[in-house]
Structure 1
Amino acid sequence: MKRGIRWGAFAALFLFATMMVTFAGAQTAVDGAIGGTVTDSSGAVIPNAQVTVHNNGTNADQHAVTDGSGYFRVVHLQPGTYTVTIAASGFQTNQSKNLTVNVGVMTSVQAHLQPGAAAQTVTVSGAAPLVNTSTPTFSGVINNYQLTHLPVNNYRWSSYALLTPGVVNDANGYGLLSFRGQSTLLNNVEFDGADDNQAFFSEERGRTRAGYSTAKAAIQEFQVNTSNYSVEYGFSAGGVVNAVSKSGTNHFHGQVYYFDRDSIWNAYNDYTKLTVPSGTGFTTEPYKPTDLRRQYGFGVGGPILKDRLFFFLAVDRFYHDFPGVSTPGNTFFYSQPDATVSNGCSASAVKSYSTIDADVCSLANNLTNAGLPTSYTQAVADYNNGIAGLNTMLGVAPRFGSQMIYFPKLDWQINKKNHASFEYNRLNWHSPAGIQTGAGALNYGKRSYGNDYVRDNWGIARLDTFLTPNVSNQALYQYGRDFEFEFSQQPTSYEQNTLIKNAAGYTNPFGGIPPEVYITPGNGGFEFGTPAFLERPAYPDERTWQFNDTVEWTRGNHDLKFGYQMVHTHDLSENLYNQYGSFSYTQLYNYFTDYYLAAQGGALAAKARNYSSYSQGFGSQGFGFSTVDYATFVQDEWKVSPKLSLTMGIRWEYEQTPNPQLPNTSNANPAYNIPQTGVLPKDKTNVGPRVGFAYDVFGNGKTVVRGGYGLFFARLINSTIYNAIAQTGVLTTDPNGNPLAQLQFSYNPTTAGAPVFPEVVTSAGTAGSPPNVIYFDPHFRMPEIEQADLTVQQQFGRHDVFSLTWLGAWGRRLPDFVDQNLPAPVQVNYVVNDPTGQGPLPNGKVLPVDFYVKAATSKVQLSNGVTATSSGRPNPYYGAETDIFSGVNSNYEGLVVQYEHQLSNHIQFNANYTWSHALDYGENNTSGTSTNALFDPTNLRLDYGNSDQNVPNRLVVNGVFTSPWQAHGLLGYLANGYEIAPDVQVQNGLPYSAGTNGNAFVQLNGKTLSYIGSGPTGSGGAPRAPGLDRNYVKRPRTAVVDLRMTKEFPIKGKANFQFIAEAFNLFNHQNVTGINTTAYNFGSSSSATCGANQLCFNAVNKNGTYTPQYGQVTNTNSSGFAYTPRQLQLAVQLTF
């Protein structure tokens, strides 16, 4: 408690002191700087030298005077090329031309003035130094040369971040990135100094289903901050990707491009197959679905008023035609029953039947027992007709995505002291059937993918002001709206005739929107109807208001920054889960039983309850709420000596959360109250110091040691807040009887009020089951990560740099989810049943586990007065009580080796290798919430193991090689201008755990124990097999080799026309995107070989030969983004 008061008081004083200097704040560096020390020929410093920094593109000048140590720094320079002129009395004027300034980096100038008259000018090479001698940050700049010359598969400019060390893809390859082994949800994406994140899902605005969110031609360069970044960056415990857009200059410049990718040039995916009935069986053939991508657009910039007003405009169009392949989860679906079985379904013969024949017998028995006498022969016909009906929803599903982006920008040099810029980005994406983006086979009906839409609009205004030659101010304002919504597709004829209005006269009450039907894919089924996650009128509709202001004061060898930031976010999310109902079947024959009974109507239809479970959601469609992120900081960049630079700063952050909207705290009976639902976190203790150094060992700019340490905080994800607002377990209703909170009711066929297929429950009414609850732990704190790094960097020759870096990151207070409404566990023993000897655990091994036993249920009265069956938990009035707590730690250490060859002799080459190890106690990558993410809810230590993002070895190599010869005349157009650019990324596969499947069959003292949830502990937690470490095994390595080949035709020295050919995954390496992680199956009461308390190795017995299913690859190259089969692309591009 005293520590909290001390930190809070410090934060208040710190905020007050900062605001006394200025109501100021910065978020990110969107520009660069030029600085250095001016000396004479003997090395003595020259004070009071006049420095002029000239922007070669806009003719804007900035001025500075060297201090007593000969040092100067000029800040707020747009990325581009500059000329630096330095003059001093008694010395010749020194001029450095074509200096390159990159975002977030200070370009060093070491000027040595020669004695002579000022009228004499000495011009030197303006090449930017290869070694950064002034800042401690471990980061990399992806410059425009790399952006325009290297291949990238998925069009996302942020994917170039994968070229830098310490960065890996998420497990699915969908475009999310992990920095230093941290969650993909802890990063920060910036665009021109403004927040480019969606707070609801903690991803880049537009998310990953849209093609990309920024026009290809709009990006000048971007900076990837992997570790120990400046206090100007915040609300991130992962990495920061900081982009800078192009601007207009006094010269017209731009590009026009057209990229064409067609699946006829592509390789097959080994796991995308089309299975169709054939005679008495089925045929399965490799299938290459259509994959057409068209990207075209232009970017152009130039002057409106020379030296004063400039424009830039980018327009980008993207079209992606990628039909899905709807298939059942198992080819068993297409098996044909034997219509000539002589004994029919007699008890003495049924055991000898094939599985499909036995299923037909089950169908016949079900219908007969329900009062519809059915022979085996008739059941065969019914079964085949049922399959034929379902098959109408399988096959190739039309699917495409189309988007348009507009990006206009104005730069206004108001006068010598003020520069303003205004920009606007509009993204419009629509994708019929585009919610499910998987490139492989999908276990969904053709009309159950869902339609996806994105409307992303934002505008930024920024003003840079030089109050004095040494004091500047940068103010930024942004308004943005990221509006995403998703709806169901038009039902198929089968769905309309079965689920909406059937032959017996039933009509669905939801206006033609059918319920979901889920038939277990492993048993040959798939999912059709309306997916439980739809409809989503707003998911989310997010509006952002942002204000930043930064004051920078250069005083002697000190560069001081004072900053303030505010980001106000309003989220509206309308997504009542499962609002149209969901029937779940484990077997096809049970579904067919209900299908045929429902068609009969009357008393037979009333018996259509052969589903395993039915569930439906009720309550408010959605909720709106606001969060406000505040930050303020102070930083001093101190040039202690020409060799040593120190950076010291401190940053305070606070995320203001909304008030609860439906607190479950005011029931007349206190037993119904959940006090935790009445409070959301208010953590004001987030004060992060950061310190770093850069030491130029020999003072020649070729050998540098850099290092630093910082404390960083991540923000609380808004979708997590939403769940805590919407699911408090309150049973209060509106005047129409609809619950105010979002509630989920589950039924089994014998539950009172359970519907008959295909009917749904029309209102919550007296539906009674204890509701689930989600709340924040009273001690919840914002995620915190300490970062440290140490780098030794050495330049060799004029163009080569080698560096060695150690990286460390230690996460604390990371969020996770645990069910608190659980009984005290009892210890049970599992026994491994593995006669094959091929599993990870030895046969016969005894594994003690704490098991959470569901108590006997009884009738209880809920808070709304409805009588329901108790939950069998300590608090019988509620189901799962999900506690969002901040108690997970993580550890990451890495060693990075980098080599860079700057463009010379027609070669640019970069290579980096990262060795690392990431460990944690089950860091959760869920943006919303999960009921119970832990293996054992009362023993967090059992989850310690390799991180989900642990990649021990990763190698990245890329380069650009241009033709060295120079022919002349007409021959030169044919022989010159060739370029080849490879990009190679190889790494260990991501880890996974050996899992179990389904619900445990456990006995103790001869009595079968009921379970709270699935998994070996019966708690509904992680299904990992006991006795094995989490993430102890790795997928096969991933390897992606992309290649670009270019032929360039110069046009009168003013433009270049390019023919481009690209190959992605050139060697068609089978990068694993799906793998069977089920190592053991639980026993069952009906099995003669796998009984109570047994974990039976997942293997298939074929004629006495066991084939392990665990670890078998189920899909490769199916992400559609990072991992695809070999694809070829052709393009033309005009640059001027």
Structure 2
Amino acid sequence: MNFRKLAGWMLAVILVASMHGRLAAQTAVDGAIGGSVRDASGAFVSAAKVTIRNNGTNAEETTTSDASGSFRVIHLQPGTYTVTIAAVGFESFKSEQVEVTVGSLTDVQPTLTLGASNETVEVSSAAPIINTINNDFTTTINRHDLEDLPVNNYRWSAYALQAPGVVESGGFGLLSFRGQSTLLNNVTIDGADDNQAFFSEERGRTNIGYSTPKSAIQEFQINLSNYSTEYGRAAGGVVNAVTKSGGNQFHGEGYYLDRDSALASFNDFTVETLQPVPGGPFVSTHVKPTDIRKQDGFAFSGPFIQDKLFFFFALDRFYHDFPIVTVPSSPANFYARPSANLPDGKTCPSSTATSPITATNDPNFFADNSACTLQTQLKLPTYAAGVTDYINGQAGLSSLLGQANRFADQTLFFPKIDWQINERNHLSAEANRLRFISPSGQQTNVTAQYGTQSIGNVYARDTWGIARLDTAITPSLTNEIRYQYGRDFEFAGPETPTTYEHNTLLQPQGYTNPIGIPPNVSITGAFQFGTPTFYPRPAYPDERRWQVTDTVNYIRGNHSFKFGGDYIHTNDLAENISNFYGAYSYTSVANYLTDYYQSLNPATSNLPGHYSTYNQGFGPLGFEFQTGDYAGFVQDEWKIRPRLSLTLGLRYEYEQTPGAQLPNPNLAQTDSFPSDKNNIAPRVGFAYDIFGTGKTTLRGGYGIFNARLINSTIYNALAQTGSPKSQFQTPNLTPTSGPLFPRILSNSAGVTPNVIFFDKNFQLPQIHQADLTVDQDIGWNTVLSVSWLGSFGHELPNFVDTNLPAPVSVTYTVVNSNPKAFSALPNNAKYTANLYGYAVNAAGKTSTGEILRPNGAYGSITDIVSNINSNYNALVFQVQHRLSHNVQFQGSYTWSHTLDYNENNTTFTNSSSILDPRNFHLEYGNGAQNIPNRAIATAIVTTPWKASGWKSYLVNGYELAPSFSAQNGAPYTAAITGNPTALVTSDFSTGYVTGVSSGYTGTGGSSRIPGLERNTFEQPRTILLDLRGSKRFTVREHYNLEFLAEAFNIANHQNVTAVNTTAYTLGTTTTNGVTTNTLTQFLANPFGAATNSNNNNIYTPRQMQLGVRLQF
């Protein structure tokens, strides 16, 4: 892209448009007031003096109406204003309560009557409820909503879920707009970027309670499409918040909120299993873990100097005491105890057994077979000895489960200064400081499949500051320059090991761990303990950013131009290596206990292990790098006719990526990073007042929106080049090639590293968005709207392993052994699929001379490509009733459908996210954020009566605010468990093949069932009804004391948050000497069965919160 040509073209657009002749201009941090002045006959009144005064600070702006009676005043802080209009020969017009909201024009249509100019007609003017000017599809959450509507999640941005087209993803606070990835959004505060570039989330991420005090937020706007060219770096949605400012009067509030599990309901899936008597049976009981949340703080504002210098300050503390309950993934099997004796006539399975126990002839087969496994593998003399060892080992593992202390504690303070330097210049400066600690807070759900001391401690330190100068150069030309600096420092680390972990993993018989930190041990059907595989994280990340933005607004005739530029410099230090302390994986408790007992006995401690895989990471702990985000934009808001407004805009973005730090001379592609310079994004929209009455409008638009390349993806390409100095992981080592349990490798000798690189044609994500809306004012301050929304994604990221062998054909036979259980596939059906693997003999040993991968020096060689397309279509019905007669309500119903080619929603990279790299069309199906139906309704109702005297304390000041949502459950895919080992194929001379990686295609990617599309199934629907009730007392004039009670999920609806997605097990069976590949019905846990509910930050059991708030 030729930057000079681009700049010249943008300038030409401005100049050509300006030749046509005023319209609203507002930025990301303010609003505008405009309209047309008419006389009683409807004729336009020109040269009328318009004065607009901020009721809080007395700051004034003046202008005059043009020949068509139009006027516009821009760069107005959100708040309440007085509009006065005077013209010779007419009585003056005055409206004292004109509300300005962020990013919007407040339309005022004054009518002047003949009379003396010293006479004033005062009117009560509210902003028109119908939008006849702006074409964007937005929802504004005002201060009334923030203060009075109940929201379970403490984040102010969680209110964005009230907007149609927005759904949560995963229950941790991440939002999907219009079916797109949660990583494609942009959050801004006072126009400044409030994102973390490394993970593409709001600063502080989701472990913290919230990153900015809600008491400091004036209001915010949710932009779903057709938003201003001033907004960028987002292909999903933009959430733009404006903070409060001080005024000429002192204002403040103090609050205290208390939520206690003593008033909450039980979660059906929160079960604690204990062994009351040593050696006795395990007893499971439903428990309600402690969940205490306390939030308190205050906000105070006022003048330092009347009409000149103002302050605002907020302080907030949030404390959360929420012990975690650690549980096995399959409690029924994990806690099953072997029988003292096998069934009569039955023996342990072996190659010589004539009557072995099976699942058919032994009702306690799982536990009995586990004892048999110990007897066989430890060469114990009797089955009874196996039972004893299994029970003792089971007790040791159980000591790692149960409740563990966990809490989160954070403090926030937010100071802000506003200085009206003179009538032309306004300066504001603000800062935000967060400190957060959470021992055992790495996992935030109520239950987790970890040991009690294997959760991890997390910390966050987030500090940023913004300075902004607004200058009115002339009445029609203004400039805003903004600067921000911020640091988001997050880090985490392991907890102190338990005695069991110390004796088992750090200092077993004859061995001392050289690092002093235990490896991870993960057991299928049980849990994981030791150190989590994702540690260490001493900086994850330490991100420092500075941003400078300049925006010019110019009004000429019927045009309002806005143009400017933006630059963000990001310095990321990230320190993390997966599996750094080593990681053992076991397919059963019995296999783990075999290695456990072997390690305790000097005579057996050097015997090969029984784990399925071992992994360990090596290389430098982290990398530091920089990125630069450049942007330029231009926009013209053109009032073509009194009934028709047109918006034309263009935005250009460029993300400067770092150069390679450790290029691999043997792989030239590792030295190349993207330089996508063609991100030109035109946007056009219109708003048409169909009948000229302001009661029926048609609005629509189209635009192109680009997102960032996430810095964590860049990090992986920097760190994993296959160079000897880079980071790398061992392949899946087996007991024959890996260490003896519980030892770790001392060096990486013989390890074939994985490689990650960017495709030479990589492009940044791009979304084409369009919408069309009809609004109808039906009276009683109520509007009905019908909208179509469309989003069409291109060049979305994907990861493909390019170092796979040629596939071979493998046929599977479906075995549905229980006709009453769910079966996704017909019994005895045959499915043929590609398997990327290498030849082995019948025993699973590698055949001599076979090459596992085309480039045998490396494992996976992952190409980061941009080849994913997506499309989203939605029909939205909305109703909105503005506060009148003590009632405010709004509701919406959204029907939508998201389809894509497996859009990847992960940070960093993975080796292969697709099923079969040779058949990409198999990926087309429902998107991960496909929620076909979603309904939302909120209301605020206050008592209409106004009693006086002592009666007022009894009957005045009541308020009730319900919030309701219902939607389809999250989509999920039927999956296969097991790895492709020694499967039958006719393509190799040995007749057997093993995949080079996991998954039934051997690529390490998806393990979904052949013949079924992605996300075919849905979890049960979710329903939430939250309710807030309050009573306000007037303590003295201007002092209000409010007592409130909130109920979240008041109906205690069991909103399912996890289901079993495994439908079949991959394996082989041999009958009469003939081996067949099988997909056997998975019966240990029924497919689709709920495994948890109400277990995240969005969905919880019924909870009650009490609070008090003082406002003045």
Q: Secondary structure at the match of 1:854?
A: strand
1:177 aligns with 2:178: no
Counterpart CA distance in 1 for 2:909 and 2:308 is 52
> Deviation of residue 757 (structure 1)?
1.5
Q: 1:443 aligns with which of 449, 454, 460?
A: 449
Counterpart CA distance in 2 for 1:980 and 1:1089 is 73
* Equivalent residue number for residue 686 of structure 1: 679
- Residues 1:121 and 1:822: Cα distance change in structure 2 (over 3 Å): same
* Equivalent residue number for residue 1011 of structure 2: 1027
* Equivalent residue number for residue 695 of structure 1: 688
Counterpart CA distance in 1 for 2:348 and 2:242 is 72
> Deviation of residue 402 (structure 1)?
0.5
> Deviation of residue 19 (structure 1)?
12
* Equivalent residue number for residue 376 of structure 2: 365
Per-residue CA deviations over 1:574-624 (Å, capped at 9, x if unaligned) read: 0011111111211222222222222223x5211152222211111000001
Counterpart CA distance in 1 for 2:728 and 2:814 is 41
Q: 2:932 aligns with which of 948, 952, 958?
A: 952
Please list, as runs of the form range in 1=range in 2, the aligned pairs for 1:333-412 lying within 5 A after superposition.
333-340=334-341, 347-348=353-354, 350-351=356-357, 354-368=365-379, 374-412=381-419
Are the aligned partners of 1:934 and 1:1021 in contact in 2 as well (CA < 8 Å)? yes
Please list, as runs of the form range in 1=range in 2, the aligned pairs for 1:270-289 lying within 5 A after superposition.
270-277=268-275, 280-289=280-289
Are the aligned partners of 1:743 and 1:771 in contact in 2 as well (CA < 8 Å)? yes
Query: What percentage of aligned pairs have identical amino acids?
Result: 54
- 1:787 is aligned with what amino acid? Q
Are the aligned partners of 1:597 and 1:608 in contact in 2 as well (CA < 8 Å)? no
- 2:776 is aligned with what amino acid? Q
Are the aligned partners of 2:26 and 2:74 in contact in 1 as well (CA < 8 Å)? no
Are the aligned partners of 2:412 and 2:432 in contact in 1 as well (CA < 8 Å)? yes
* Equivalent residue number for residue 514 of structure 1: 518
* Equivalent residue number for residue 163 of structure 1: 162
Are the aligned partners of 2:702 and 2:768 in contact in 1 as well (CA < 8 Å)? yes
> Deviation of residue 720 (structure 1)?
0.4
Please list, as runs of the form range in 1=range in 2, the aligned pairs for 1:720-759 lying within 5 A after superposition.
720-731=713-724, 739-751=725-737, 754-759=738-743
Q: 1:845 aligns with which of 829, 853, 868?
A: 829
> Deviation of residue 1117 (structure 1)?
0.6
Q: 1:505 aligns with which of 510, 513, 518?
A: 510
Counterpart CA distance in 2 for 1:1088 and 1:770 is 40
- 1:137 is aligned with what amino acid? D
Per-residue CA deviations over 1:53-106 (Å, capped at 9, x if unaligned) read: 100000000111212221111111000000111111222111122000000000
> Deviation of residue 311 (structure 1)?
0.5
TM-score by length of 2: 0.94
1:482 aligns with 2:462: no
Per-residue CA deviations over 1:632-689 (Å, capped at 9, x if unaligned) read: 011111111211111101000000000011111x2xxxxxx22211101000100000
Please list, as runs of the form range in 1=range in 2, the aligned pairs for 1:1048-1087 lying within 5 A after superposition.
1048-1085=1032-1069
* Two-structure CA RMSD over aligned residues (Å): 2.2
Please list, as runs of the form range in 1=range in 2, the aligned pairs for 1:22-37 lying within 5 A after superposition.
29-37=28-36
Q: 1:935 aligns with which of 893, 898, 915?
A: 915
Please list, as runs of the form range in 1=range in 2, the aligned pairs for 1:187-266 lying within 5 A after superposition.
187-266=185-264
- 2:411 is aligned with what amino acid? M
* Equivalent residue number for residue 709 of structure 2: 716
1:776 aligns with 2:758: yes
Counterpart CA distance in 2 for 1:815 and 1:1087 is 45
* Equivalent residue number for residue 455 of structure 1: 461
- 1:1134 is aligned with what amino acid? L
- 2:635 is aligned with what amino acid? Q
* Equivalent residue number for residue 697 of structure 2: 704
Counterpart CA distance in 1 for 2:462 and 2:381 is 57
Are the aligned partners of 1:8 and 1:684 in contact in 2 as well (CA < 8 Å)? no
* Equivalent residue number for residue 645 of structure 1: 645
* Equivalent residue number for residue 1101 of structure 2: 1125
- Residues 1:1054 and 1:27: Cα distance change in structure 2 (over 3 Å): closer
> Deviation of residue 745 (structure 1)?
4.8
* Equivalent residue number for residue 58 of structure 1: 57
Per-residue CA deviations over 1:120-169 (Å, capped at 9, x if unaligned) read: 11111121111111110010110000111100001111110111110001
- 1:1021 is aligned with what amino acid? G
- 1:52 is aligned with what amino acid? T
Are the aligned partners of 2:199 and 2:710 in contact in 1 as well (CA < 8 Å)? yes
Counterpart CA distance in 1 for 2:744 and 2:968 is 48
- Residues 1:556 and 1:634: Cα distance change in structure 2 (over 3 Å): same
Counterpart CA distance in 1 for 2:9 and 2:571 is 28
Deviates most, 590-599 or 975-984: 590-599
Structure 2's unaligned 5+ residue stretches are 17-24, 842-847
* Equivalent residue number for residue 789 of structure 2: 807
> Deviation of residue 264 (structure 1)?
1.0
Per-residue CA deviations over 1:334-367 (Å, capped at 9, x if unaligned) read: 2222345598859456526633233222212222
1:884 aligns with 2:895: no
- Residues 1:1014 and 1:1054: Cα distance change in structure 2 (over 3 Å): same
1:146 aligns with 2:149: no
Counterpart CA distance in 1 for 2:74 and 2:424 is 13
- Residues 1:999 and 1:61: Cα distance change in structure 2 (over 3 Å): same
1:918 aligns with 2:902: no
Are the aligned partners of 1:274 and 1:395 in contact in 2 as well (CA < 8 Å)? yes
TM-score by length of 1: 0.92
Q: Secondary structure at the match of 1:596?
A: helix
* Equivalent residue number for residue 539 of structure 2: 538
> Deviation of residue 8 (structure 1)?
6.7
Per-residue CA deviations over 1:1094-1135 (Å, capped at 9, x if unaligned) read: 2222236xxxxxxx711111111101x101011111111111
Please list, as runs of the form range in 1=range in 2, the aligned pairs for 1:1-40 lying within 5 A after superposition.
10-11=5-6, 13-14=8-9, 29-40=28-39
- Residues 1:236 and 1:744: Cα distance change in structure 2 (over 3 Å): same
Please list, as runs of the form range in 1=range in 2, the aligned pairs for 1:393-432 lying within 5 A after superposition.
393-432=400-439
> Deviation of residue 114 (structure 1)?
1.3
Q: Secondary structure at the match of 1:380?
A: helix
Counterpart CA distance in 2 for 1:792 and 1:465 is 37
Are the aligned partners of 2:217 and 2:241 in contact in 1 as well (CA < 8 Å)? yes
Per-residue CA deviations over 1:963-988 (Å, capped at 9, x if unaligned) read: 22332211220121111100000011
Counterpart CA distance in 1 for 2:92 and 2:176 is 49
- 1:716 is aligned with what amino acid? L
> Deviation of residue 1011 (structure 1)?
1.1
Counterpart CA distance in 2 for 1:123 and 1:355 is 83
Counterpart CA distance in 2 for 1:816 and 1:259 is 44
Counterpart CA distance in 2 for 1:796 and 1:925 is 42
Counterpart CA distance in 1 for 2:1014 and 2:484 is 43
Counterpart CA distance in 2 for 1:870 and 1:230 is 59
1:831 aligns with 2:804: no
How many correspondences in the alignment? 1079
- 2:40 is aligned with what amino acid? S
* Equivalent residue number for residue 844 of structure 2: none
Q: 1:789 aligns with which of 753, 757, 771?
A: 771
Are the aligned partners of 2:310 and 2:419 in contact in 1 as well (CA < 8 Å)? yes
Counterpart CA distance in 1 for 2:310 and 2:730 is 56
Per-residue CA deviations over 1:478-531 (Å, capped at 9, x if unaligned) read: 0000000000001111111111122x2321111x211111111x2xx2111111
- 2:510 is aligned with what amino acid? G
Per-residue CA deviations over 1:1073-1106 (Å, capped at 9, x if unaligned) read: 1011112221334799997322222236xxxxxx
Q: Secondary structure at the match of 1:454?
A: strand
> Deviation of residue 748 (structure 1)?
1.0
Are the aligned partners of 1:277 and 1:334 in contact in 2 as well (CA < 8 Å)? no
